Structure 1
Amino acid sequence: MFISQGKALSWSPFANSSGFGDCFLEAIVRRVNIENNGYYGHLPTTNRFAIIEEALEFYADQILSADSHQAFVKITKSEFHGFTFIDSGRDRLPGKEWLKTLSLADFFLAAPGTTYPMSHNCVESLAVGTIPVLEYASVFKPALTDGVNCLSYQGKKGLRRTLTRMQGMDASEIERLRKGASEYYDKHLGPKRIVQRLMQPNVSKLHLHADLAKPAA
């Protein structure tokens, strides 16, 4: 999901491989636990469907639905300020256009995955300078900082407060946060930095699986 200019929220076709329409999403939300087991017992996070449901409710009177790529492109070029819902079961944004499209947004609502504690698209949002809105800033190493390179929240009520806070931000504050997100990526997550870290003499083991990783201090 991404939030454009603190005003428009959109469901990302890559945030979930399954793709749920409005009605199916609502049914799923009722079936799943609102609170999941957290980051393998280390970091409690709110169930992704509960986060999506809360965002849908927050923008209840400001929702557009895009069921084709052409419709989505039209929305991104419009002055619409609200919630844009993309049913990825009906239409997917072409992969080659993903980063460019993501960069058009000022904010990215990075709900946790269905089995993983984080949205992997969050790293992509940092790469293009789109501010992540997330519940697991401490998973990053070093941890992301609220009000510097991200907006953080705790639980559904916390998300609602953060969305309200975001709505009141002016252009200069948003630009400062976007710069902070981009700088964080360049300093800690970019290809050059990753290679530098891998080449350090004290690196003897590389974990490729999230379930083997430890949360950031």
Structure 2
Amino acid sequence: MLRIFNRIKTLVSDAAAFARAWLYIPPKNTNALLITCPNPNLYHRFFYLLVKMYKLSGYSIYYPMDFAKFRNLRNKDRYLGLMVREKHFLSIRKKNMPDHVVELTQDMLSPDYFKSYFALKNREENVFHVPMSFHPFMYHKGLWSQEIDTGKKRLNAVFCYGNFDPKAYLAIKKTTFSVATRIDLLNFFRKQKSFVSITGKKDITDSGDFLDRKYVFAIKDQYQIPMEEVRELLSYFNFYLCCPGVVMPLCHNVIEAMSVGTIPLIQKEYAEVMYPHLKHGINAVIFEHLDHLKAILADEIFNYSENEISSMKRHVLDYYNDYLSPEAVVKNVNKSIQNDQLIYLQAEHRSVKFRP
């Protein structure tokens, strides 16, 4: 009985939301995106993120759909559902749509994101890889563009934060990727004399120079950083250790770090599934394996001059502004559409399963 009641309650809520969406007419806008993709669920959060980039870049979004499709989008995936849950995010009909629009169709997109890397040794031409983004809620809550002081004196230290649950983050070992897992990386750093595990924000902000030349970890079980403070805390450090995600190297943390000029300390395979690739000593510090990482920690990471750090930080910010910001992503996707290029869009587990 309770299950039937909840179904009816959801149906009524969806019907009311659909009616509100039907009544919404976007203001006239010279920049508009028309979506004609029947199966956005294939791409989960990454479809929302791509469309959100257009929204943040000042585009009106048109995505004609019936009630069944609206319900599917609204309830199937919590991130994809933001497309119809965010107020005035898109129009579900073509009312007031300008004559000239950018059209995004299903056949423009491919979920085989890692084909270039594995099958073609990163020599594939006439394609575009939509880059990794912040966590979806960073855009949803407006946290992605909060003003951060990127010019303050920083700790000459390596920072890392996040979830290190071995049950979740060992799945990448079952894939074709050969990156060190985040569990491998945590265990590696725990053996270093300069390893520090913090339990709160003040451990960073009130540390003075205690954390200089340290490897500073905010492990979720001990200190879960509020999303509102992530970019601020990243901006206190010269370097950020990039840990891989659940089933692929790419993870939103690296983008959040680069947005405030924090230099990625990153494994080579990870750096090479970012497009354009990150470059050692230019906009990243790149290691090939754990033995190589050990050598970098001993001889290199804390021995860069202030000028070298400033140069790398500037190049990190340039990379973010040129390739990762919403405006840059939209500009590059539009260019790819105009040039009839295939656009690779991540589809999480599905993208990985394409690989042998």
* TM class, shorter-length: 0.7 to 0.9
Provide the aligned C-alpha RMSD in A: 2.7
SS of equivalent to 2:294: helix
Shift of 1:158: 1.2
2:209 counterpart (57, 79, 104): 79
**Does structure 1 residue 68 correspond to structure 2 residue 205?**
no
**Does structure 1 residue 131 correspond to structure 2 residue 263?**
yes
The whole-number CA distance in structure 2 between the counterparts of 1:191 and 1:169 is: 31
Percent of residue pairs identical: 21
Q: Deviations over 1:63-109 (max 9, x none)?
A: 4432234444433xx21122333332133222111111111111010
The whole-number CA distance in structure 1 between the counterparts of 2:186 and 2:306 is: 25
Q: Deviations over 1:98-130 (max 9, x none)?
A: 111111111010021232222321111111111
Asked if 1 retains the 8 angstrom alpha-carbon contact of 2:263 and 2:284, the reply is yes
The whole-number CA distance in structure 2 between the counterparts of 1:119 and 1:87 is: 16
1:44-193 equivalence runs, <5 A: 44-58=178-192, 60=193, 62-75=194-207, 78-80=208-210, 81=212, 82-135=214-267, 136-164=270-298, 165-193=300-328
Asked if 1 retains the 8 angstrom alpha-carbon contact of 2:197 and 2:216, the reply is yes
Shift of 1:190: 1.3
The whole-number CA distance in structure 2 between the counterparts of 1:205 and 1:147 is: 29
The whole-number CA distance in structure 2 between the counterparts of 1:151 and 1:204 is: 31
Q: Which amino acid aligns with 2:318?
A: E
The whole-number CA distance in structure 2 between the counterparts of 1:10 and 1:108 is: 5
The whole-number CA distance in structure 2 between the counterparts of 1:151 and 1:187 is: 20
Q: Deviations over 1:186-213 (max 9, x none)?
A: 1111111111122232256562414438
Q: Which amino acid aligns with 1:114?
A: V
**Does structure 1 residue 9 correspond to structure 2 residue 141?**
no
The runs of 5 or more residues in structure 1 that have no matched partner are 21-27
The whole-number CA distance in structure 2 between the counterparts of 1:126 and 1:99 is: 9
The whole-number CA distance in structure 2 between the counterparts of 1:138 and 1:185 is: 16
Asked if 1 retains the 8 angstrom alpha-carbon contact of 2:266 and 2:287, the reply is yes
Asked if 1 retains the 8 angstrom alpha-carbon contact of 2:283 and 2:313, the reply is yes
Classify 1:141/1:204 alpha carbon distance in 2 versus 1 (closer, same or farther; 3 Å).
Answer: closer
TM-score, normalization by structure 1: 0.75
Classify 1:87/1:121 alpha carbon distance in 2 versus 1 (closer, same or farther; 3 Å).
Answer: closer
Q: Deviations over 1:127-164 (max 9, x none)?
A: 11110011111111111111111111111111112223
Q: Which amino acid aligns with 1:79?
A: D
The whole-number CA distance in structure 1 between the counterparts of 2:303 and 2:203 is: 28
Q: Deviations over 1:36-68 (max 9, x none)?
A: 35xx52x4211221122222223x2x3443223
Structure index of larger Rg = 2
Matched length:
189
TM-score, normalization by structure 2: 0.48
**Does structure 1 residue 195 correspond to structure 2 residue 330?**
yes
1:212 corresponds to: 351
1:36 corresponds to: 173
SS of equivalent to 1:68: coil
Asked if 2 retains the 8 angstrom alpha-carbon contact of 1:52 and 1:111, the reply is no
SS of equivalent to 1:139: coil
Classify 1:169/1:204 alpha carbon distance in 2 versus 1 (closer, same or farther; 3 Å).
Answer: closer
Classify 1:9/1:143 alpha carbon distance in 2 versus 1 (closer, same or farther; 3 Å).
Answer: closer
The runs of 5 or more residues in structure 2 that have no matched partner are 1-153
Classify 1:102/1:192 alpha carbon distance in 2 versus 1 (closer, same or farther; 3 Å).
Answer: same
1:24 corresponds to: none
